[in-house]
Each structure stands twice: as C-alpha cells, then as structure tokens.
C-alpha cells in the first residue's frame, strides 16, 4: 500500500510541480492534466517528471489501438504503423516503461492502468475536437478527423474544458 505522502510526492513530480499538494489539490491537478473530470488519483512512478511529448502520445495511441484489435502490440507492428525503425520503438517503449505507462513481455507491449487512462484521455480529446469541427465548423468527417489528430496533442486541458463546456451549452440551448 502506498502512503498518502508518497502518493502526493509522486503526483507532484508527475504534474511537474515540486510543491506538496493536499489530497484534494493533487486530485484536481491530475484531473486538469488528463482533461477528465472523473479520474481518481493513482500511484505513479517517480520517473514521470514532465508531460508526454507528441511522439510519446502517438505511441500510447497506437499501442491502445493494437490492444483493441489484437490484445497487445508488437514492436514490428508499432514500427510499421508509426513509420519508424524497430530500434526506435524499443527505445521509446523503454522510456514509456520507465514512466509506468507501458509494460513489455518479450515482443508484446501493453498499456498499464495509467497508460490506459492516458489513451482514454487522448481519445476523448480527439472525439471532442472532431465533433466540434464536424458539427460547429461544418467540416467533412475525413478532414475533421485529420485535423483532430493534429490538434489533440497540442491543446491545453483548459482549452478542452472550455470547448467541452461551450459545446454542452450549445446542445442544451438547441434542445430547449
């Protein structure tokens, strides 16, 4: 069992804040970081010291997609779908393993619970952005999907919350 103080210290490091947070503030910070209002804080490894890069997020997405289709990802599949070499995949998965996001058993790569939550948050951001572009901006599905793929990695959690709130208000007004 992880003590609260160790959990809070890990969360503070993971959120790139070096101050000690109360349990309530730690939970709110984690929710902001992941862009989801219903997440409960969980123990994270101390190695998570900064946000994921765009490349790391793409790996998490591809691993999640492969898990959905095949139950796990293989190094060769990731290399093919991401357009990189197998040694690059091995190097990146090693970094993600250190961060507690993926685990690897021989050639099979799977997401940890934290990795699954990150993949879910990325998928949610993508769906929100695509919905906005299709229904509010009138873009066709293919173009909206392509643009959402690019934007999901660079929008801030505050932007996502604001967009989600704005879309909810518009839908509520339409139903009234």
Q: Cα(29)–Cα(82) distance, rounded to whole angstroms?
A: 31
What domains appear along the chain, each with residue ranges and CATH number? 1-50 (no CATH), 54-111 (1.10.10.10), 117-175 (1.10.60)
Beta partners for residue 109, in sequence order: 73, 104
Q: 28 falls in which pLDDT band (50, 70, 90)?
A: low
Percent of the chain with pLDDT over 70: 72
The encoded tokens of residue 58 equal 């793409």
Contact indicator for 75, 84 with CB cutoff of 8 Å = no
pLDDT digit string, tens, across residues 121-136: 999 999 999 999 998 8
Q: Sheet harboring 73-74: ordered strands across?
A: 73-74, 108-111, 102-105
pLDDT in tens, 1-25: 444 444 444 544 444 443 444 555 5
């Amino acid at each position: 069992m992880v003590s609260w103080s160790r959990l809070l210290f890990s969360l503070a490091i993971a959120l790139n804040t070096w101050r000690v947070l109360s349990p309530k503030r730690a939970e709110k910070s984690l929710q902001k970081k992941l862009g989801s209002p219903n997440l409960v804080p969980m123990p994270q490894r101390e190695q998570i010291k900064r946000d994921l890069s765009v490349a790391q997020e793409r790996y998490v997405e591809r691993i999640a997609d492969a898990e959905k289709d095949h139950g796990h990802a293989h190094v060769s599949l990731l290399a093919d779908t991401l357009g990189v070499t197998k040694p690059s995949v091995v190097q990146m998965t090693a970094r993600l393993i250190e961060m507690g996001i993926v685990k690897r058993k021989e050639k099979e790569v799977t997401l940890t619970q934290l990795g699954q939550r990150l993949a879910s948050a990325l998928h949610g951001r993508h769906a929100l952005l695509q919905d906005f572009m299709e229904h509010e901006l009138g873009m066709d599905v293919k173009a909206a999907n392509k643009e959402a793929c690019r934007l999901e990695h660079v929008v801030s959690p505050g932007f996502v919350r604001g967009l989600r709130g704005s879309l909810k208000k518009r839908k509520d007004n339409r139903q009234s």
